[in-house]
Structure 1
């Protein structure tokens, strides 16, 4: 392992309670502060000093991409909704009245898209396992209860309901024994993705209690443990100077020593996240354990909707030894209208970025929608029967037989999600729609 970085800043999360006291926010006009506070009541807010001091360029605010990525903006909600909450805050209304208004808005933001609750939650002996999801045959997602927060919250996050107190919509598991038993009964599962939130907010001792049972069980099908995290971007000291950073890296090494593959699924939204000395050292330390870092992020308006940004991002990832993995389309949840990029523009951005980089950077797949039927990539725009069409392909599917299948949709320059597309030609519906209807009726 490499020597650790210089002493880290004190880790002190800054949450909604401290929002107005952030010096840069306190300096804003009162009406703007009130609007931002209103949005922060509805959508989750949390940052730390590293994000504030090392990543945000305060001279470019409000247009700075990392500021847009981490701070609520009035345009993220409907004007009328912002006004309702702002008026209640201005009037110092009772907490219960404010909460009721906030909850009404939150539940109208499609809090769990793509069948996360209705189709993805598995069962064991007739009981729903609300701390797990099993959408694709080979991969199970596990949500450890202690990992259901983050070092900082992304404003686009499709899992925002995990962080706003909607307990009936939250995924969380207290023990890993059920996970092990479920995997025993499903030997086709090769990958477990430990996710959240961010599992790397957990102390290493707690993370061990999730990973070590998987290693000890010696499940014949399980070959890969994935950890979904933004810690490399938002708190790289987790891998360098945190009190248990060395133990975390030892845990990574133990996974490899057991003959299993460990993949850090790193959310990497902008090249600036990879430029600090702390981030560079953290990436080197992780790679020294034998773990592979795979980088993914959605295409987000105001943050990274520029082919130059993606080309620079992929080059930086490859230079540091990470693997460009996915460019996702922003999901149809939360402040989607504020962030969404139409599919036609997403295809153009992806293609322009790919043409600027070498083959090592072209491992990235996209633009991909994690939609109800599966991961659907938009390969491009083609002509069929004298009309423009989107060429689509299933990268992953609820039914494994769908994987790799190509299909066409009518070109629509405004469409930003799979549900907004229509089949090309005379087809009444896409091939997967009837199957999904039948599945939902069960």
Structure 2
């Protein structure tokens, strides 16, 4: 293993109590800062010294993409909602009153998309199993209680509801025994995704407590860890006190015959430029783990083909595997960040066409919708109709996987629910209408 580097700073978090001070660095006036603070009562804000000092170009803020990636924007929410919250903050209203209004706004933002609370929660007997989701037959998601935060929050994050302090909106569990028992009852499950939040916010002893029991399950072929740590705190794998122990744990997982896959979130090429990131990637790959990269397509941050081709090329050179370009989910500030599906396809197509075949492991644009992961394969004309060509990469019903289907082209559509079926009365995942 590469030895830890010395002399790097310890982790320092910035939260909403630091927000006004940081916004001054971006040149925002009093009124603008008040509106941003109003948005931050609804959506979570957290960043750290590495992001603030190393990734953000403050001379270009507030238009810098890395700034927009972590700092709330005044127009991310409906103007009337922002105005009401700003008035409460300006009047120094009681916190309970501010939080009640913030909760009202949150309730309109679809905090749990794709049926997470209703359709995905597994059961043992009649009882729901907390902190788990079982959307696809072969894959279970587990949300460790200690991993329900991140080194910094992305403004687009579809799991924003995990971070706002409302227990009713959280998925979390610290009962690894219950997860193991559930997996033993479901031998069809071959992959576990440790997610959150970010599992890599946890120290090595805590991560070990969750991973070690999984190594005894013969049925498991892979363990995945969803993380943004490589972009927002690469020190976690290089110079943090338990970096070496963490890499040693990864080696144990690989020696146990499991594929350990990092699902690394990189949203912009600048996140890849630091020598710390290069060192962290080398150390993780040196442990025997693989790193697959993914991110959503986000308006005003990465909605250009050159941004994606640059990311995929650099990731490939560093030994990572480009994996997914996602469509921004139908939750939180989707209206602010969403790119129309037709434009999303063009961006993906142009970026995909400009990289070598070894980068073309990436898939997209993919919508993680209620029935499954729906990929936009293209826009074409069939029988005089302009249509989207779509297929399921993954689905609740495995029989749907890989089957092409069609939707009428709509230049304003940003999500599956905006589309109407073409050449059929319903989509393949919908029930046929009852005959009268």
TM-score between both structures, scaled by the size of structure 1: 0.96
Count the aligned residue pairs.
Answer: 434
> Alignment RMSD, CA only?
1.3
Q: Secondary structure of the residue that 1:75 maps to in structure 2?
A: coil
Q: Secondary structure of the residue that 1:422 maps to in structure 2?
A: coil
Flag structure 2 segments of 5+ consecutive residues without an equivalent: none
Match of 1:277 in 2: 275
Match of 2:63 in 1: 63
Q: Deviations over 1:356-393 (max 9, x none)?
A: 11001111000000001000000001211101100000
Q: Deviations over 1:190-220 (max 9, x none)?
A: 10000000010001100111001111xx223
Match of 1:245 in 2: 243
Match of 1:379 in 2: 377
Match of 1:416 in 2: 414
Q: Secondary structure of the residue that 1:74 maps to in structure 2?
A: coil
Q: Distance in 1 between matches of 2:184 and 2:24?
A: 52
Q: Secondary structure of the residue that 2:59 maps to in structure 1?
A: helix
Q: Deviation of residue 402 (structure 1)?
A: 1.0
Q: Distance in 2 between matches of 1:369 and 1:27?
A: 36
Q: Is the 8 A contact 2:340 2:413 kept in 1?
A: yes
Q: Distance in 2 between matches of 1:5 and 1:309?
A: 30
Q: Distance in 2 between matches of 1:295 and 1:7?
A: 29
Q: Where does 1:58-137 land on structure 2 (aligned, <5 Å)?
A: 58-137=58-137
Q: Secondary structure of the residue that 1:134 maps to in structure 2?
A: strand
Equivalent of 2:350, from 349, 352, 355? 352
Q: Secondary structure of the residue that 1:42 maps to in structure 2?
A: coil
Match of 2:326 in 1: 328
After the TM superposition, which parts of structure 1 deviate over 6 Å for at least 4 consecutive aligned residues? Answer: none
Q: Secondary structure of the residue that 1:119 maps to in structure 2?
A: coil
Q: Is the 8 A contact 1:5 1:281 kept in 2?
A: no
Q: Secondary structure of the residue that 2:296 maps to in structure 1?
A: strand
Flag structure 1 segments of 5+ consecutive residues without an equivalent: none
Q: Is the 8 A contact 1:26 1:33 kept in 2?
A: no
Q: Secondary structure of the residue that 2:111 maps to in structure 1?
A: coil
Q: Deviation of residue 123 (structure 1)?
A: 0.5
Match of 1:235 in 2: 233
Q: Is the 8 A contact 2:400 2:428 kept in 1?
A: no
Q: Deviation of residue 3 (structure 1)?
A: 2.7
Q: Distance in 2 between matches of 1:259 and 1:168?
A: 38
Q: Distance in 1 between matches of 2:179 and 2:119?
A: 18
TM-score between both structures, scaled by the size of structure 2: 0.98
Match of 1:434 in 2: 431
Q: Distance in 2 between matches of 1:76 and 1:27?
A: 19
Q: Deviation of residue 21 (structure 1)?
A: 2.6
Q: Deviation of residue 6 (structure 1)?
A: 4.0
Q: Is the 8 A contact 2:4 2:244 kept in 1?
A: no
